[in-house]
């Protein structure tokens, strides 16, 4: 589908009852509960009936960045913890060893980038 058609289809539906500020406050409230940006999107869709945050010209990660949180770094830290726990239980799993190395390097790159 052409990009112009997609933008026409992304007009705000009439049945959507939330304003931009309400959506922003919901996102920040869910972030305070420790949710990732992916989970926030699912909750907005399933519980609040907001199909896409882009309808409000917002992005979840940008709203979270406004509050000085780096969701990508937090997600990578959680992934490293899970992989380390998995590797303790399954010492023969070489694929997860490799995944842990790659994830740690991604985490280091992101933290170096955000510390500048």
- State what percent of residues in the chain have pLDDT above 70: 86
**pLDDT at residue 103 greater than cutoff 60:** yes
What's the pLDDT band for 112 if we cut at 50, 70, 90?
confident
**pLDDT at residue 69 greater than cutoff 60:** no
- State what percent of residues in the chain have pLDDT above 90: 36
Predicted pLDDT of residue 57: 82
Distance separating alpha carbons of residues 73 and 62, to the nearest angstrom: 14
Contact indicator for 58, 82 with CB cutoff of 8 Å: no
Distance separating alpha carbons of residues 28 and 34, to the nearest angstrom: 10
Domain boundaries, the chain: 16-66, 71-115
**pLDDT at residue 93 greater than cutoff 60:** yes
- 58 backbone dihedrals φ, ψ, rounded to 5°: -120, 160
């Amino acid at each position: 589908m052409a990009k112009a058609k997609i933008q026409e289809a992304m007009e705000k539906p009439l049945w959507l009852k939330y304003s931009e500020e309400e959506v922003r406050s919901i996102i920040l409230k869910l972030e305070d509960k420790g949710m990732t940006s992916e989970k926030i999107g699912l909750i907005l869709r399933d519980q609040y009936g907001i199909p896409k945050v882009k309808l409000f010209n917002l992005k979840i990660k940008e709203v979270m960045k406004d509050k000085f949180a780096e969701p990508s770094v937090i997600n990578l830290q959680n992934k490293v913890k899970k992989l380390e726990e998995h590797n303790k239980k399954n010492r023969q799993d070489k694929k997860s060893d490799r995944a842990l190395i790659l994830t740690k390097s991604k985490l280091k790159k992101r933290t170096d980038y955000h510390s500048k």
